[in-house]
Amino acid sequence: MAEEGLGQKVDSEDLESVVSSGMDLSEKTRSASFLQQDSRVLFYRSLLEGVEIMGIKEALEKDPDVNGYFGRAFKLLDREYPGDTEGGYFIRVKKGQTVELPIQACLFLKAQGFKQKVHNVIIVEEGARVYLITGCSASRAAHEGFHLGISEFFVRRGGYLNFTMIHSWREDVSVKPMSIALVEEGATFISNYVCLKPVREIIMYPTAVLLGREARASFNSLILSHPNTVQDIGSRVIFRARDTQAEIVSRAVSLGGKVIARGHLKAEDKDVRAHLECRGLVLSEKGMIHAIPELETDLREVDMSHEAAIGKINKEEIEYLCSRGLTKDQAQSVIIRGFMDVDILSIPELLKKEISRLEDQTLKGAL
Amino acid sequence: MLEVKNLSVEISGKPILRDINLNIGKGSAMVLFGPNGSGKTTLIKTIMGFSGYRANKGEMIYKGKKIDDMSIDERVRSGIGMMYQHPPKIRGVKLNQIARFLCDDEGKIRDLAHRLSLTEHLARDVNFDFSGGEMKRAELFQILLQDADLLLLDEPESGVDIENISIMGGILNEYLKNDDKSAFIITHTGYILDYIEAKEGCVMINGKLWCVGDPKEMFDSIKEFGYEKCKECPWLKRG
C-alpha cells in the first residue's frame, strides 16, 4: 500500500466525520497513520524509521514478542478482557527514538448496526518519546453502532507517551473503551480525552499503573454532554512505586445529558503526590453531572488531594463580559468556550489548534 | 452627558438610593465620596444596568436618551464604560480575548498593555493570579480600549501602590483631557485627585447625595472632620 495515501482510503461521504476525530488525511503533520473500518484494516503507513505500525493480527503473526504483551496489562490487574476482538492497531516506537510529529490511528464505524471490537497494543520502548492521536468516529450510515476498544499501553523505562483520544461518534452509537497503561521507572504517560459530539452512551474508566520510581501519569478530559446521552467517564491511577506522581483534570459541560465524572487515585506505595480536579457546568435543566472523586491509601506518607466544583455559569462573570460590550449570549458562549479550555490538555500547539477548531464548530452548532 | 433624575433604587426590597439627582457634563469629571455602605457602588452599578440594580423611581438620561431599559451591552455600545472595584476571575478567558473584542487595533492593544505593564498578562486568564494593582491596571486597560465616553471608576486606586497610581493617574488624566470624555469617580483615598482635574465633587451618605462642591476642599474637610461633619456642613442641601 505504498502510493495511495490515507486520504484515498476514506469514502468522500465520510471525510468530514474522520477529520472531526482529529485525523490529518494528508499525513503531512503525522509520523505514521492507521485506519480500521469496522473489522477491516484499510491502511497503515509509517513515515519514520523507528516507528512500527500495523494491524495487531499481523503483528502477532510476525513477531512472537508481541504475544508477550497482548493481555499482559489486564493480567497484572487480574482483570478479564473480551477475547472476541477483531483487529486493532499495533504501534511500537523503538528505543531512544523521539517522534516529533504525532502518530495517528483512526477507528471508524461504517456499516449499520456493526459491533466493532478492537484490541490495540502500544509499546514505547526505553527512552522513546511519542505523541499518539486516536480518532474514533462513525459514518452517517452507522446507525445503532457499537464500539469496544481495548488498549494496552506499555511505557518502558524513561519513555514518554502522550496519548490523545478524540471521540466523534453519533447519537445512536454506544461505546466502551477499556484501557490500561503500565508506566515504568522514570516514564510518563499522558492521556488527553476529548468528546464533543453526541453519543448515546460511553462507559470508560482508563487506568494507569505506575510501576517504577519517578513514573508519572496525567489524565485530562474535555467532555460536552448532549441531551439524551450518558457519559460515564473516569480516570484511575494506581501507584505501585515510590516517588510517583499523577494528576487528573476534567471539565464537563452538560447541555442536557448525563455525565458521571469519576476519578480514583490509589496509592499502594509511599511518597506519592497526586491531585484530582473535576469541574462541571450544567447549562440545561435537563442536564446532570455527578462527580465522584476518590482517594485511597493505607499509607501515611502520601500527599493526595482533590477538588470538585459543579454549577451553572456565574451571573457575575456574564455581566462582567457584558460590561465590556458582549451580548449576554456572546458572554455565555465565551465563558463556556473558556471553561472547555484546550490548555488543560498537554498537547502540542498544532493539536491544540485542531481541537480548538473542533470545539468552536461544535459549540457554535450546539448553543 | 449623563443626567440622573430623582433616582431611587431598592435591592431585595430594601431602599439603598433615595432621590438621587446628578448631572455630569460633557468633558468633565465628578468625584463621589462617601463612607462604606453608603450606596456609591450601587449607583454606578445602576447606571451600568446590572441585574438586581433597577430603579424603582426616577430616570437616567445619557447623551439625550433614556437608558433605564437598555441592556448592559447596549449601554456599553453607547459609550459608558465601567472599571470594577472587585472584578471577577473568569477561567479560560484571556485578557487578550477581551482586549481584541474591545479594539481591533493590535498595535494600540500592545502599546497600552506595555504602558500599563500588562504585556505578560494578556495571555493569562482574566484576573486569575493578578495582584490588586494588576487587576486595577487591567480594568483601566479595558475601558480605555473600549474608548468609553463616560468612565465610571469604582475606587480606581484602592490596592494600588504609589508608583502605579502615578502611572494610572497620568494615563487617565491624558485620556480625560479629551473634551468628549467624562468621568464619575468613586474614591476613598483621594489620591486620584492629584492627577485628575475634577471640577466637582459630591458626598453620598445613607443613599442620599448631600452636597456638590469643589472636590479638593471637600476631601480636605472629610479628612479633617470625617463624614459626620458633612451632615452639618455649610453646603448642605445645595446638592
Q: CATH no. for residue B82?
A: 3.40.50.300
- Residue A269, C-beta contacts closer than 8 angstroms, at least 6 positions apart: A239, A240, A241, A242, A244, A299
A84 burial via Cβ count (<10 Å: 0-12, 13-18, 19+): exposed
Query: What is residue A4's DSSP assignment?
Result: S
Whether B139 maps to a domain, the answer reads: no
- CA A314 to chain B, closest CA, distance in angstroms equals 9
Cβ contact (<8 Å) for B93 and A328?
no
pTM higher than 0.90, yes or no?
no
Whether B40 maps to a domain, the answer reads: yes
Nearest-5° Cα angle at B114, B108 to B116: 105
Query: What is residue B20's DSSP assignment?
Result: E
- CA B146 to chain A, closest CA, distance in angstroms equals 7
Q: How does pLDDT run across B90-135, given as a tens digit for each residue?
A: 999 999 999 999 999 999 999 999 999 999 999 999 999 999 999 9
Nearest to B34 by CA among B182, B158, B190, B173: B190
Of the pLDDT bands very low, low, confident and very high (cuts 50, 70, 90), residue B223 is confident
Is the CB of residue A363 less than 8 Å away from at least one CB of chain B?
Answer: no
- The pLDDT of residue B235: 57
Range of the domain at B27: 2-86+149-230
Whether B194 maps to a domain, the answer reads: yes
Nearest to A252 by CA among A176, A164, A175, A193: A193
Average pLDDT of chain A to the nearest whole number: 94
Whether B80 maps to a domain, the answer reads: yes
What are the start-end ranges of the H helices in chain B?
Answer: 40-48, 72-77, 95-102, 106-115, 132-146, 162-176, 215-230
Pick from B50, B97, B98: which is nearest to A319 by CB? B50
Pick from B51, B88, B146: which is nearest to A320 by CB? B88
Cβ pairs bridging A and B (under 8 Å): 63
Cβ contact (<8 Å) for A321 and B102?
no
Kindly report the backbone phi and psi dihedral angles of residue A226, in degrees, each rounded to the nearest multiple of 5, phi listed first: -95, 160
Whether B91 maps to a domain, the answer reads: no
Give B94's contacts in chain A (Cβ within 8 Å).
338
Q: How does pLDDT run across B57-102, given as a tens digit for each residue?
A: 999 999 999 999 999 999 999 999 999 999 999 999 999 999 999 9
Residue A31 reports pLDDT greater than 70: yes
Whether B110 maps to a domain, the answer reads: no
B165 burial via Cβ count (<10 Å: 0-12, 13-18, 19+): buried
- CA B167 to chain A, closest CA, distance in angstroms equals 23
Chain A: residue whose CA lies nearest to B87:
A320
- Residue A67, C-beta contacts closer than 8 angstroms, at least 6 positions apart: A60
Do residues B55 and B39 lie in contact, with contact meaning Cβ atoms separated by under 8 Å?
Answer: no
Give B76's contacts in chain A (Cβ within 8 Å).
322-325
- The pLDDT of residue B239: 41
| ipTM of the complex as predicted | 0.94
Number of domains composing chain B: 1
- The pLDDT of residue A123: 98
Cell of A257: 445529558
- CA A335 to chain B, closest CA, distance in angstroms equals 7
Distance of CA B133 to the CA centre of its chain: 16
Q: How does pLDDT run across A219-260, given as a tens digit for each residue?
A: 999 999 999 999 999 999 999 999 999 999 999 999 999 999
Pick from B51, B91, B93: which is nearest to A319 by CB? B51
Cβ contact (<8 Å) for A339 and B92?
yes
Kindly report the backbone phi and psi dihedral angles of residue A119, in degrees, each rounded to the nearest multiple of 5, phi listed first: -130, 110
- Residue A69 vs residue A1, higher pLDDT: A69
Q: How does pLDDT run across A301-338, given as a tens digit for each residue?
A: 999 999 999 999 999 999 999 999 999 999 999 999 99
Nearest to B43 by CA among B20, B64, B27, B25: B20
Taking the C-alpha atoms of residue A339 and residue A311, their distance in angstroms, rounded to an integer, is 12
Taking the C-alpha atoms of residue A304 and residue A225, their distance in angstroms, rounded to an integer, is 29
Give A326's contacts in chain B (Cβ within 8 Å).
73, 101
What percentage of residues in chain A have a pLDDT greater than 70?
99
Is the CB of residue A281 less than 8 Å away from at least one CB of chain B?
Answer: no
Q: For residues B94, B96, B98 and B104, what is the CA-based torsion angle, rounded to 10 degrees?
A: -160
Cβ contact (<8 Å) for B72 and A337?
no
Is the CB of residue A337 less than 8 Å away from at least one CB of chain B?
Answer: yes
Which of B45, B93, B96, B139 to substitute to test the interface with A, most A CBs within 10 Å?
B93
Whether B167 maps to a domain, the answer reads: yes
Is the CB of residue A325 less than 8 Å away from at least one CB of chain B?
Answer: yes
Do residues A143 and A32 lie in contact, with contact meaning Cβ atoms separated by under 8 Å?
Answer: no
User: How crowded is residue A227: how many other Cβ atoms within 10 Å of its Cβ?
Assistant: 15
Whether B162 maps to a domain, the answer reads: yes
Cβ contact (<8 Å) for B98 and A321?
yes
